[in-house]
Amino acid sequence: MVAALYPGTFDPVTNGHLDIIERACRVFDRVYVTLFPHPEKSFLFTVEERLEMLRQVTAPFPNVEADSYSGLVVDYARERGIRVLIRGLRAVSDFEAEFQMAQMNMHLNPGLETFFMMTRPENAYLSSSIVKTVARFGGSLAGLVPPVVEKRLRERFRS
């Protein structure tokens, strides 16, 4: 059995994330979609809220486990015997930072391989940051996020 880890902040989870998750489910026996901290980001949703949304939107995928972890990706992978890390690439501009991160992860955990998945063209412009900006100003979220996430965004920005 080959398990893979798809780490992120998922603040919030987008249709681009879901596309990567769905495709990863066809390649790997088990996919851990896991929230990790990012010290340079401030979050719109709490860990608990993001985890709840992740669990709701990944419910149709029987081989996905949504989780959270407060340490390093490499340590989470090591503790669970995961040997594959999934990273999505939207554009060439993502590659430099992702390459650097993959090299550091390999240094910290030589048994962990990074598997890059190219986003579909229709999701190439999509990011959680852009989605939050659109939601903040009342723009259409159609096609950007799952309905449950759209509802949570609308509620958050109404208050």
Active-site residue numbers? 17, 41, 90, 128
Domain spans in the chain, listed from the N-terminal domain onward: 3-125
pLDDT tens, residue by residue, 78-133: 999 999 999 999 877 788 888 999 999 999 999 999 999 999 999 988 999 999 99
The predicted pLDDT at position 159 comes to 58
pLDDT tens, residue by residue, 34-70: 999 888 888 999 999 999 999 999 999 999 999 999 9
Looking only at the bridges linking them, the beta strands covering 84-89 and 3-8 are parallel
The fold adopted by the segment(s) 3-125 is: Rossmann fold (3.40.50)
The predicted pLDDT at position 100 comes to 93
> In DSSP terms, which residues pair with 45 in a beta bridge?
none
Q: Are 51 and 45 in contact (CB under 8 A)?
A: no
Rounded CA separation 118/128 (Å): 17
Q: Please give, one letter per residue, the 3-state secondary structure of 5-33.
A: EEEECCCCCCHHHHHHHHHHHHHCCEEEE
Q: What pTM value is reported for the model? A: 0.94
